C-alpha cells in the first residue's frame, strides 16, 4: 500500500476470495502464535497474518499488492499451533489461488481456478482436441485410409518436423503466457500509486535472487520437513531435464534407432523419469496418508499435476519399452496416449495450475529483495511503493 493513500474497504472481497477455496480465519484474535511458529519470519513480525488481515478488512488493493502468500511455503506449522483453529496455512493457499487468478489477464484462469468442473472439463477438452488432431493429421492431412491408420506400425519419427513444432508450441505457449503476466504482477505489487518509484538499478542488482530462488528454493529448505525440500528439488531437476530434452533434442530423443543401454540417449531419459517419479511418489504418499498438517485438505488442483505427470511418464516409458521389444503397433498407441496426456498437462496445468507457482514464488522473493534494497537506499522521507 502506498504511503499516504487511504485504503478503501470492499465488502465483496471476502466472498470473492472464498470462491477459490476455504478461507475461514474469522476466529483469529491476533495472538501471534502463527508468526512465532513460522520459520520464515525474519524481521517482519506481521507475517503470515498481514495478508489474511487485508482480506478480512476488505482491503482489495493492499491484498493484490501483497507478496506474502508467495513467501509461505505451506509447511502447516502455523495451523498446528493456532489456538483458534483458524488454519492460516489453508488461508494462504486460498489467497495464492485468488492472486493467481488476478494475475491472469484473459479471465480464463478465474473460471478454471474457481470451478473443479471447468478445470476438469478444460483438461478433457484439450485431451480430446489433441486426439482429434492426431487422427485428423493422418486421415485428412496425409489422406491415409482409416484401416491403414489403425493397423500400420509407423516409425516414431514419422510425424517430424510437424511434431517438433507441436512440442515447441505446447511448451512455449504456457511459458510465454506466464512471462506475459510478470508485467501485470509488477504493476500490482511494485508500482504503488506512481508518486514514488523504485530505481531500475535495484532490479538489476537483485536479479540473481530470481535465478537463485528458482533453483535453490531456500524458503522451503527452512521448513522443518527437510525431505519435502529434497523431494521438490528432485522433481524440479527431473522435469527441467525432460523439458530441455523435448525443446532442444526431440529428434535425438524420440527416434526409431535402437541404442545400447550405456548410450546417453537412453540413460538421460531414465534418470529424468526416475527423478520425477521419486518426487511425485514422495508428494502423493504424503497426501494419501494425510497425517501431517501440510498434507491435510488436498484440493482437486493439488492432484492434477502429479497425476498427469505420472501418466505422461508411464505412457512415455510404455512406448519406449514396447519399441525395444519390437511391438511397433502397440508402441504407437502408447505414444499417441503419451501426447494426449502430456498436452493438457502442459497447456492447462502449466499455464493456470500449481505449476505456475514455480514462476510466481521466486518472482515474489525477487520483488521483495528489490523493495528491501530500494528501502535501504531511499533518501530520507521518500516512500518505496507498497513497502510496509
Ligand atoms: S495463531 Fe491463529 S489466532 Fe493466533 S494470530 Fe495466528 S491465525 Fe490468529
Ligand atoms: S504454512 Fe508454514 S511457511 Fe506458511 S505461514 Fe504457516 S508456518 Fe509459515
Per residue in 208-243, pLDDT (tens digit) is: 999 999 999 988 888 777 788 999 999 999 999 999
Q: In this predicted structure, what is the pLDDT of residue 195? A: 61
User: What is the predicted pLDDT for the residue at 156?
Assistant: 81
**Does the pLDDT value for residue 198 go beyond 50?**
yes
pLDDT of residue 90: 94
- Answer whether 78 contacts ligand 2 (Cβ < 6 A): yes
Q: How does DSSP classify residue 25?
A: -
290: three-class secondary structure by DSSP:
coil
Give the closest residue (by CA) to ligand 1 atom 3. 28
The confidence band for 41, taking pLDDT boundaries of 50, 70 and 90, is confident
pLDDT at res. 382: 63
- Cα–ligand 2 centroid distance for 35 (angstroms): 8
218 plus 84 within the same structural domain: no
Alpha carbon of 88 to ligand 2 centroid (Å): 8
Which atom, in ligand 2's list, is nearest to the CA of 294? 1
Distance CA 350, CA 363 (A): 16
- Asked if 308 and 267 touch (Cβ cutoff 8 Å), the reply is no
Is there a single domain that holds both residue 208 and residue 148? yes
pLDDT mean over 195-207? 87
Among 46, 78, 103, residue at a domain's last position: 103
Report CA(219)–ligand 2 centroid distance (Å).
10
Q: Does the pLDDT of residue 130 top 80, yes or no?
A: yes
What's the structural domain count of the chain?
Answer: 2
Residue 189, all three cell numbers: 505489487
Q: Which three cell numbers stand for residue 153?
A: 506400425
Residue 375 inside a domain? The answer is no
CB 89 near ligand 2, within 6 Å: yes
Atom of ligand 1 nearest to the CA of 85: 2
Provide the mean pLDDT of the chain. Answer: 89
Residue that is last in its domain, among 47, 72, 103: 103
Same domain for 225 and 264, yes or no, is yes
If asked whether residues 146 and 233 sit together in one domain, one would say yes
pLDDT at 24 over 50: yes
Any domain includes 346: yes
Ligand nearest to the backbone CA of 48: 2
> Is the domain of 131 the same as that of 62?
no
Closest-lying ligand 1 atom to the alpha carbon of residue 87? 7
Domain with 284, as residue range(s), is: 117-363
Provide the grid cell at 253.
530423443
Rounded alpha-carbon distances, angstroms, from residue 43 to 47, 302, 343, 372: 9, 31, 43, 11
Q: Does one domain contain both 89 and 121? A: no
Cα 291 to ligand 2 centroid, rounded to whole Å: 17
Mutate to test the pocket of ligand 2, among 35, 67, 75, 82 (most ligand atoms within 8 A of CB): 75
CA 69 to the chain's CA centroid: 14
On whether residue 388 sits in a domain, the answer given is: no
Q: Has residue 239 been placed in a domain?
A: yes
Cβ atoms within 10 A of the Cβ of 186, count?
15
Could you tell me the distance, in angstroms and rounded to a whole number, from the CA of residue 92 to the centre of ligand 2? 8
- pLDDT at site 2: 47
Cα of 158 vs centre of ligand 1, distance in Å, is 60
Single pTM value for the model: 0.88
- 166 lies in some domain: yes
Check residue 299 and give its pLDDT. 83
Q: For residue 373, tell me if it sits in a domain.
A: no
| Least trusted range by pLDDT, from 4-13, 24-33, 328-337, 363-372 | 4-13
% of the chain surpassing 70 pLDDT: 94
2 or 126, greater pLDDT: 126
Cα 289 to ligand 1 centroid, rounded to whole Å: 26
Please tell me whether residues 329 and 305 are part of one structural domain.
Answer: yes
Residue 9 β-bridge partners: 59
**Higher-pLDDT residue of 292, 119:** 119
Q: Which three cell numbers stand for residue 185?
A: 504482477
Rounded to an integer, the average pLDDT of 140-161 is 85
Same domain, residue pair 204 and 349: yes
**pLDDT average, residue stretch 51-57:** 93
What's residue 302's pLDDT?
Answer: 87
Phi, psi of 15 (to 5 degrees): -65, -35
Asked if residue 68 has pLDDT above 50, the reply is yes
Handedness of CA 351, 279, 214, 74 (dihedral sign): positive
Cβ–ligand 2 distance for 73 under 6 Å, the answer yes
Pocket of ligand 1 (CB under 6 A): 25, 28-34, 49, 82-84, 86, 88
Same domain, 90 and 133: no
Single out the residue of 82, 133, 52 nearest to residue 344, CA to CA: 133
Q: 366: closest CA among 211, 177, 220?
A: 211
The C-alpha cell at 187 is: 504493476
* Ligand nearest to the backbone CA of 92: 2
Residue pair 86/31 in contact by the 8 Å Cβ criterion: no
Q: Which of 46, 77, 103 is the last residue of a domain?
A: 103
Indicate whether 63 belongs to any domain.
Answer: yes
For the cut 50, the answer to whether the pLDDT of residue 1 exceeds it is no
Please indicate, yes or no, whether residues 86 and 133 belong to a single structural domain of this protein: no
Taking each helix axis from N to C terminus, what angle separates 300-324 and 328-344, rounded to the nearest 10 degrees? Answer: 160
Residues 80 and 157 occupy one common structural domain: no
Please state, in angstroms and rounded to a whole number, the distance separating the CA atoms of residues 63 and 361.
Answer: 16
Q: pLDDT tens digit string along 94-107? A: 999 999 999 987 78
Q: Is the pLDDT of residue 149 over 50?
A: yes
Atom 2 (ligand 2) nearest CA: 75
CB 33 within 8 A of CB 93: no
CA angle 370, 374, 375 (to 5 degrees): 115
Q: Which residues contact 210 (CB under 8 A, 6 or more apart)?
A: 362, 363, 365, 366
Please work out whether the CB of residue 52 comes within 6 Å of at least one atom of ligand 2.
no
Residue bearing the CA closest to ligand 2, atom 4: 72
Residue 61 near residue 1 (C-beta atoms within 8 A): yes
In the numeric block, which cell numbers belong to residue 120?
476438469
**Cis peptide preceding 268, ω within 30 of 0:** no
Q: Is residue 238 part of a domain?
A: yes
Q: Which residue has better confidence, 44 or 33?
A: 33
Does 23 lie in the same domain as 56?
Answer: yes
Nearest atom (ligand 1) to Cα of 91:
7
Amino acid at each position: 500500500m502506498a504511503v499516504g493513500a487511504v485504503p478503501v474497504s470492499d465488502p465483496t472481497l471476502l466472498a470473492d476470495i472464498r470462491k477459490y477455496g476455504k478461507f475461514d480465519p474469522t476466529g483469529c484474535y491476533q495472538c501471534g502464535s502463527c508468526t512465532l511458529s513460522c520459520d520464515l519470519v525474519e524481521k517482519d513480525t506481521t507475517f503470515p497474518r498481514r495478508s489474511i488481515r487485508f482480506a478480512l478488512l476488505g482491503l482489495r488493493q493492499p491484498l493484490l499488492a501483497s507478496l506474502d502468500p508467495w513467501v509461505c511455503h505451506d509447511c502447516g506449522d502455523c495451523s498446528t499451533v493456532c489456538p483458534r483453529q483458524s488454519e492460516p496455512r489453508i488461508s494462504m493457499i486460498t489467497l495464492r489461488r485468488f492472486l493467481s487468478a488476478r494475475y491472469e489477464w484473459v479471465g480464463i484462469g478465474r473460471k478454471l481456478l474457481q470451478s473443479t468442473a471447468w478445470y476438469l472439463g478444460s483438461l478433457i477438452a484439450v485431451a480430446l482436441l489433441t486426439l482429434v488432431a492426431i487422427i485428423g493429421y493422418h486421415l485428412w492431412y496425409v489422406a491415409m485410409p482409416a484401416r491403414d491408420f489403425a493397423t500400420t506400425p509407423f516409425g516414431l519419427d514419422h510425424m517430424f518436423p510437424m511434431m517438433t513444432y507441436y512440442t515447441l508450441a505446447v511448451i512455449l505457449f504456457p511459458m510465454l503466457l506466464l512471462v506475459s503476466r510478470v508485467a501485470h504482477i509488477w504493476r500490482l505489487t511494485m508500482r504503488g500509486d506512481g508518486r514514488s518509484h523504485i530505481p531500475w538499478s535495484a532490479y538489476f542488482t537483485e536479479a540473481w535472487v530470481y535465478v537463485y530462488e528458482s533453483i535453490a528454493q531456500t524458503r522451503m529448505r527452512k521448513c522443518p520437513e527437510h525431505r519435502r525440500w529434497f523431494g521438490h528439488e528432485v522433481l524440479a531437476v527431473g522435469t527441467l531435464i525432460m523439458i530441455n530434452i523435448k525443446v532442444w533434442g526431440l529428434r535425438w530423443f524420440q527416434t526409431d534407432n535402437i541404442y545400447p543401454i550405456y548410450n546417453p540417449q537412453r540413460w538421460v531419459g531414465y534418470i529424468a523419469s526416475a527423478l520425477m517419479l521419486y518426487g511425485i511418489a514422495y508428494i502423493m504418499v504424503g497426501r494419501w496418508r494425510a497425517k501431517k498438517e501440510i498434507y491435510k485438505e488436498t484440493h482437486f488442483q493439488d492432484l492434477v499435476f502429479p497425476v498427469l505427470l505420472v501418466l505422461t511418464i508411464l505412457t512415455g516409458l510404455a512406448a519406449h519399452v514396447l519399441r525395444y521389444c519390437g511391438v511397433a503397433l502397440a508402441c504407437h498407441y502408447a505414444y499417441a496416449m503419451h501426447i494426449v496426456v502430456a498436452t493438457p498437462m502442459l497447456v492447462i496445468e502449466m499455464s493456470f495450475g500449481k505449476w505456475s507457482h514455480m514462476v510466481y514464488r521466486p518472482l515474489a522473493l525477487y520483488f521483495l529483495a528489490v523493495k528491501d534494497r530500494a528501502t535501504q537506499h531511499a533518501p530520507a522521507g521518500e516512500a518505496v511503493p507498497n513497502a510496509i
